[in-house]
């Protein structure tokens, strides 16, 4: 096996799923398991590591694409060279070192990295480890910018009650508010959104319970966002809400990049499929003399990139909250 590049294992843990990909001389398939589970003690890291170990056991014996194993060699008995564990919510954990220890013990790599998904998303979007900022507009919204040295700045990501400006959940909430204003005969209401939301969620009287008391309230709110973006071409209220969302995303991205030297700016997330939102984002950047580059990839791609860099260069920048290296 002399000369065979060590295997990088990249894991991205989000609310909706755990994704794992191996990379040796080429990329392996992406395999999945359920996402983060939150119990009384917080995120169950041990269960996630066990899921990743199980996925790895099923994929390690299969050579990666364009990476045939030499005769008599099987990846199943070879420990990974590098594991990069990208995790949503890492910043809010009191003991990030415990997460690193759990991944080290469970996946048994020679080198292990635990990284915030904000960092992995940035590296995946920009395709490099260098000054840059990215805003992610999904169910929630968060912007992150760093030079991988002195500046590490996160903007928003405070959840659908306290923040996440420009997110699908925030846009869905704004759409429901406009629908209820129309229901009550108040100004700035949208009859179109009232009809669409009633068809999706049922009678308006049931909405407060669905979006305030339900454990999946952010996802329920986010499910309304496509109704708002879909109505934006013909409904003035919906269009105004979408423009505001794009402008808020631009504001977060610019703040995340503030102070960086020639940063690469990017944006990711399904909400950007709306031309009204993406155009408003670009207009906000242009007003500040900036522009964004197309996203090269996502958080899993970023985790692979970080792992390959550590494998090949032998080092990575570190930060006690965002990027831990064993």
Beta strands in the chain (DSSP E): 8-13, 18-23, 31-33, 38-39, 42-43, 82-87, 111-116, 132-137, 141-146, 152-156, 264-268, 323-325
150 part of a folded domain = no
Domain count, the chain: 2
* CATH code of the domain covering residue 250: 3.30.420.40
Cβ(202)–Cβ(211) below 8 Å: no
Q: What's the CA gap between 185 and 194, in Å, rounded?
A: 11
The pLDDT assigned to 129 comes to: 95
Cβ(254)–Cβ(175) below 8 Å: no
- The crossing angle, in degrees rounded to 10, of helices 217-231 and 236-257 is 120
Cβ(19)–Cβ(87) below 8 Å: no
- Calculate the dihedral angle through the C-alpha atoms of 126, 128, 132, 137, rounding to the nearest 10 degrees: 30
Q: What is the pTM of this model?
A: 0.86
For 221-262, the pLDDT digits (tens) are: 999 999 999 999 999 999 999 999 999 999 999 999 999 999
Mean pLDDT of the chain, nearest integer = 88
For 39-62, the pLDDT digits (tens) are: 545 678 888 899 999 988 887 655
Q: Verify that 206 and 101 share a domain, yes or no.
A: no
Q: Range of 176's domain?
A: 155-287
Cβ(64)–Cβ(22) below 8 Å: yes
Tell me the average pLDDT across 274-298: 97
For 295-317, the pLDDT digits (tens) are: 999 999 999 999 999 999 999 99
Instruction: Examine the pLDDT at 74 and tell me if it is beyond 90.
Output: no
Q: Verify that 272 and 301 share a domain, yes or no.
A: no
For 197-215, the pLDDT digits (tens) are: 999 999 999 999 988 878 8
Instruction: Examine the pLDDT at 68 and tell me if it is beyond 50.
Output: no
The pLDDT assigned to 95 comes to: 85
Residue among 195, 251, 269, 204 nearest 228 (CA): 195
Beta strands in 232-282 (DSSP E): 264-268
The pLDDT assigned to 212 comes to: 86
246 part of a folded domain = yes
- Per-residue pLDDT band for 90 (boundaries 50, 70, 90) equals confident
The pLDDT assigned to 41 comes to: 54
Residue among 106, 244, 98 nearest 174 (CA): 244
Q: Verify that 87 and 186 share a domain, yes or no.
A: no
């Amino acid at each position: 096996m002399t000369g065979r590049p060590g295997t990088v294992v990249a894991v991205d843990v989000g609310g909706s799923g755990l994704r794992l990909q191996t990379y040796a001389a080429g990329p392996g398939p992406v395999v999945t398991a359920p996402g983060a589970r939150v119990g009384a003690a917080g995120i169950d890291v041990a269960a996630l590591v066990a899921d990743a170990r199980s996925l790895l056991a099923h994929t390690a014996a299969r050579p990666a694409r364009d990476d045939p194993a030499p005769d008599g060699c099987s990846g199943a008995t070879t420990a990974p060279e590098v594991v990069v564990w990208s995790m949503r919510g890492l910043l809010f954990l009191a003991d990030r070192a415990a997460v690193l220890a759990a991944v080290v013990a469970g996946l048994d790599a020679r080198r292990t990295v635990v990284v915030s998904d904000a960092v992995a998303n940035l590296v995946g979007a920009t395709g490099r480890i260098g000054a840059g900022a990215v805003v992610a507009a999904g169910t929630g919204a968060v912007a992150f910018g760093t030079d991988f040295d002195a500046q590490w700045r996160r903007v928003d990501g405070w959840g659908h009650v306290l923040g996440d400006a420009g997110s699908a959940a925030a846009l869905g909430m704004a759409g429901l508010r406009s629908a209820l204003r129309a229901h009550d005969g108040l100004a700035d209401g949208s009859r179109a959104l009232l009809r669409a939301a009633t068809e999706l969620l049922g009678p308006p009287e049931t909405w407060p319970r669905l979006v305030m008391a339900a454990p999946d309230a952010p996802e329920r709110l986010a499910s309304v966002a496509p109704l708002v973006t879909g109505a934006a071409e013909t409904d003035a209220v919906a269009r105004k809400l979408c423009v505001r969302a794009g402008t808020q995303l631009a504001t977060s991205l610019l703040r995340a990049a503030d102070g960086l030297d020639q940063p690469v700016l990017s944006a990711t997330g399904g909400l950007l499929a709306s031309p009204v939102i993406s155009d408003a984002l670009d207009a906000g950047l242009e007003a500040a003399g900036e522009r964004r580059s197309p996203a090269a990839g996502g958080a899993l791609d970023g985790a692979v990139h970080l792992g390959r860099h550590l494998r090949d260069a032998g080092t990575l920048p570190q930060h006690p909250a965002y990027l831990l290296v064993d």
